[in-house]
């Protein structure tokens, strides 16, 4: 061993750490790995930590989830409860529910871990949602990161279903109602719905199988896939290197920031503890899913104000707002009132998943993009994103229409009608308003570049006129505000070619030209100032 160390004095042994590293290098090649990665650069921006929150809450969920499996019994055998929670003693309940009570009342720290697990799941989903919006609004999904966008999207969707199967496990009155709703929705699927329901539940609802089946889906199948996706997601982040915002010294060809060792390790590693600590404190203070208040599940009982966890809220809203359309033909029933929301649920998510491909088709841009867009500089994309979030939020309100009605003393019917109309009108208004705000901000940037920053100083000129003094921007600021790309709208070209023969233009090309114009046409982006404009204004008569 000592022969391979790099110490200058052959008689002195290398330090222990180096010898361990040597040993590992001989088997894993760690020095070559570390050579390129140990001082890898990570750019800094507050919004880059959103993804970290997701990663860390995912790790917390796995850690606490393993603990919970040590005590949870995924069984629907009916037992009489004799644990220490007095109000439910002597009641019939499934073993799943009874063991969840045991975790909450008889295992010391069990309640804390349960609550950390559930809170972390809520933070995980919320984090993914916000992280996804960050990536969307800054255009970080563009080439070469479209596949990673899909990975992230899959994680979001699988996260929703892992959450759903997880909170269904205790077999309490609230979650059982949610499972019943899911079964009702499955039944609405044409042709195969009844069969899927029978196979999923091992017969009629609720049966005695679903807790055990959901358990293996919740703790093995879905998290296994998700773990793979998370690893893939991270590998791609590593491989593509992180995006960065435009700024002095930051180009599409470099990455500016702090090295992995030590700063990023300390910050990111520390951030894991911050997230974990924060969630642990929340779990110590705020109760979540108090199943002992709800009681065990009975298909003929329900509590008012039944709500899914927030991330299922928009699906709940779709199902609540939809009118009860049913078509009966040839002895069959098409349950549109439930099936349409089910399809919309997939389509609504699918649109955002495919967006990167739609945009790259419209722009025809095949270059790599590592500099982030400011949302204002992509008005149509930003407006589309805000419209999407608006319908999501309106459906979230719809999912809690009873809560809204009781809290604000409104009629449930008017809340539902607001949601029904809002689902169509809200996104349109949001689109128009957002686009105008973006264009306004672009104009302001343009003015700032050409005329400088408003200093707030009012000057009186010798002839009595008052003017506000504008300070010219620094070179850094000028560069940052003008660094973004501006596309020109694609044109179909003349209807006839140079010989006067009619050119064939197919429908997709026309659509693309139209979309391209909607994105980059005259009224859809403000031309950024050119160097000539700037020189003309600054060289002439001062800044004003």
Identity of the residue, 15 or 144, whose beta carbon is nearer to other proteins in the bound complex: 144
Q: Quick check: 521 binds other proteins (CB under 8 A)? A: no
> Helices 336-363 and 313-321, interaxial angle, to 10°?
120
**Window 444 to 503, contacts with other proteins (CB under 8 A):** 449, 475-476, 478-479, 482-483, 485-491
Interacting span for other proteins (CB under 8 A) from 63-71, 156-164, 344-352, 365-373: 365-373
Q: Quick check: 524 binds other proteins (CB under 8 A)? A: no
Interacting span for other proteins (CB under 8 A) from 227-235, 280-288, 376-384, 436-444: 280-288
Question: Considering only residues 281, 343, 457, 496, which one is a binding residue for other proteins as defined by CB under 8 A?
Answer: 281
Query: What secondary structure letter does DSSP report for 70?
Result: T
Query: Distances in Å between the alpha carbon of 58 and those of 1, 61, 136, 139, 147?
Result: 41, 5, 21, 25, 21
Interacting span for other proteins (CB under 8 A) from 95-103, 217-225, 226-234, 245-253: 245-253
Length of the chain: 544
End-to-end CA distance of the chain: 74
What is the closest distance, in whole angstroms, from the C-beta atom of residue 465 to other proteins in the complex? Answer: 28
Q: Name, in order, each residue with C-beta under 8 angstroms of 536's C-beta and a sequence gap of 6 or more.
A: none
> Helices 173-187 and 313-321, interaxial angle, to 10°?
60
Rounded CA-CA distance 468/130 in Å is 40
Q: Are 257 and 242 in contact (CB under 8 A)?
A: yes
**Window 10 to 29, contacts with other proteins (CB under 8 A):** none
Secondary structure class of 371 (helix, strand, coil): strand
Q: Quick check: 280 binds other proteins (CB under 8 A)? A: yes
Q: Quick check: 32 binds other proteins (CB under 8 A)? A: no
**Window 80 to 119, contacts with other proteins (CB under 8 A):** 84, 92, 105-106, 108-109, 111-112, 115
Strand pairing report for 371-372 and 244-245: parallel
- Please list the residues that pair with 328 across neighbouring strands: 333
Q: Quick check: 310 binds other proteins (CB under 8 A)? A: no
Interacting span for other proteins (CB under 8 A) from 1-9, 159-167, 247-255, 350-358: 247-255
What is the closest distance, in whole angstroms, from the C-beta atom of residue 259 to other proteins in the complex? Answer: 6
Three-state SS annotation for 128-185: HHHHHHHHHHCCCCCCCCHHHHHHHHHHHHHHHHHHHHHHHCCCEHHHHHHHHHHHHH
Identity of the residue, 40 or 453, whose beta carbon is nearer to other proteins in the bound complex: 40
Strand pairing report for 466-471 and 244-245: unpaired
Total residues contacting other proteins (rule CB under 8 A)?
Answer: 139
Q: What's CA 348's distance to the chain center, in Å?
A: 14
**Window 171 to 210, contacts with other proteins (CB under 8 A):** 177, 180-181, 183-185, 187-195, 197-209
Up-side HSE of residue 281: CA atoms within 13 Å toward CB? 5
Query: Distances in Å between the alpha carbon of 185 and those of 180, 191, 280, 393?
Result: 9, 13, 36, 22
| Angle at 312 (CA atoms; ends 306, 318), nearest 5 degrees | 85
Rounded CA-CA distance 320/318 in Å is 6
Question: Considering only residues 32, 37, 303, 414, which one is a binding residue for other proteins as defined by CB under 8 A?
Answer: 303
What is the closest distance, in whole angstroms, from the C-beta atom of residue 13 to other proteins in the complex? Answer: 30
Q: Quick check: 290 binds other proteins (CB under 8 A)? A: no
Burial of 38 (0-12, 13-18, 19+ CB in 10 A): middle
**Window 43 to 82, contacts with other proteins (CB under 8 A):** 78
What is the closest distance, in whole angstroms, from the C-beta atom of residue 507 to other proteins in the complex? Answer: 13
Interacting span for other proteins (CB under 8 A) from 13-21, 158-166, 222-230, 301-309: 301-309
Q: Quick check: 249 binds other proteins (CB under 8 A)? A: yes
Binding track, positions 396-435, relative to other proteins; x by CB under 8 A = -----xx---------xx--x-------------------
Q: Are 309 and 167 in contact (CB under 8 A)?
A: yes
Question: Considering only residues 50, 155, 211, 321, which one is a binding residue for other proteins as defined by CB under 8 A?
Answer: 321
Q: Quick check: 370 binds other proteins (CB under 8 A)? A: yes
């Amino acid at each position: 061993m000592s022969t391979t160390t790099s110490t200058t004095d052959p008689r002195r042994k290398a330090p222990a750490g180096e010898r361990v590293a040597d040993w590992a290098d001989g088997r894993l090649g760690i020095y070559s790995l570390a050579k390129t990665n140990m001082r890898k650069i990570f750019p800094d921006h507050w919004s880059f930590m959103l993804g970290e929150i997701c990663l860390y809450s995912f790790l917390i969920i796995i850690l606490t989830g393993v603990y919970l499996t040590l005590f949870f019994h995924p069984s629907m055998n009916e037992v009489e409860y004799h644990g220490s929670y007095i109000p439910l003693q002597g009641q019939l309940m499934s073993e799943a529910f009874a063991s969840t009570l045991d975790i909450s009342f008889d295992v010391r720290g069990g309640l804390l871990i349960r609550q950390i697990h559930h809170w972390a799941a809520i933070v995980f989903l919320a984090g993914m949602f916000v992280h996804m919006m960050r990536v969307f609004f800054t255009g970080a999904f563009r080439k070469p990161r479209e596949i990673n966008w899909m990975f992230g999207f899959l994680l979001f969707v699988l996260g929703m279903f892992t959450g759903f199967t997880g909170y269904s496990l205790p077999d309490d009155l609230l979650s059982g109602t949610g499972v019943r709703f899911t079964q009702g929705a499955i039944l609405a699927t044409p042709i195969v719905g009844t069969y899927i329901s029978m196979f999923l539940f091992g017969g009629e609802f609720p049966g005695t199988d679903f807790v055990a089946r959901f358990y293996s889906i919740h703790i093995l199948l879905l998290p296994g896939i998700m773990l793979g996706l998370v690893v893939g997601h991270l590998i791609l982040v590593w491989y593509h290197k992180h995006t960065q915002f435009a700024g002095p010294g930051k180009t599409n060809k470099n990455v500016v920031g702090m090295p992995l060792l030590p700063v990023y390790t300390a910050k990111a590693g520390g951030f894991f503890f911050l997230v974990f600590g924060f969630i642990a404190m929340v779990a110590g203070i705020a109760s979540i899913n108090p199943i002992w208040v709800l009681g065990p599940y009975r298909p003929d009982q329900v509590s008012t104000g039944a709500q899914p966890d927030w991330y299922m809220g928009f699906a709940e809203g779709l199902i609540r707002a939809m009118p009860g359309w049913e078509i009966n033909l040839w002895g069959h029933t098409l349950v549109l009132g439930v099936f349409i929301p089910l399809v919309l649920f997939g389509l609504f998510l699918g649109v955002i998943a495919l967006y990167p491909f739609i945009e790259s088709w419209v722009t025809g841009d095949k270059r790599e993009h590592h500099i982030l867009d400011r949302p204002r500089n992509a008005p149509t994309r930003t407006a589309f994103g805000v419209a999407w979030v608006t319908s999501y939020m309106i459906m979230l309100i719809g999912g809690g229409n009873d809560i809204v009605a009781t809290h604000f003393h409104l009629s449930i019917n008017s809340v539902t009608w607001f949601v029904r109309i809002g689902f169509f009108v809200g996104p349109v208004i949001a689109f128009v308003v957002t686009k105008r705000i973006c264009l306004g901000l672009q104009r302001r940037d343009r003015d700032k570049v050409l005329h400088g920053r408003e200093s707030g100083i009012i000057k009186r000129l010798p002839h009595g006129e008052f003017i506000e003094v504008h300070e010219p921007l620094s070179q850094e600021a000028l560069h940052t505000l003008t660094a973004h790309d501006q596309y020109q709208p694609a044109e179909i070209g003349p209807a006839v070619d140079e010989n006067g023969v009619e050119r064939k233009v197919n429908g997709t090309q026309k659509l693309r030209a139209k979309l391209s114009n909607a994105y980059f046409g005259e009224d859809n982006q403000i031309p950024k100032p050119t160097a000539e404009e700037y020189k003309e204004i600054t060289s002439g008569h001062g800044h004003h």
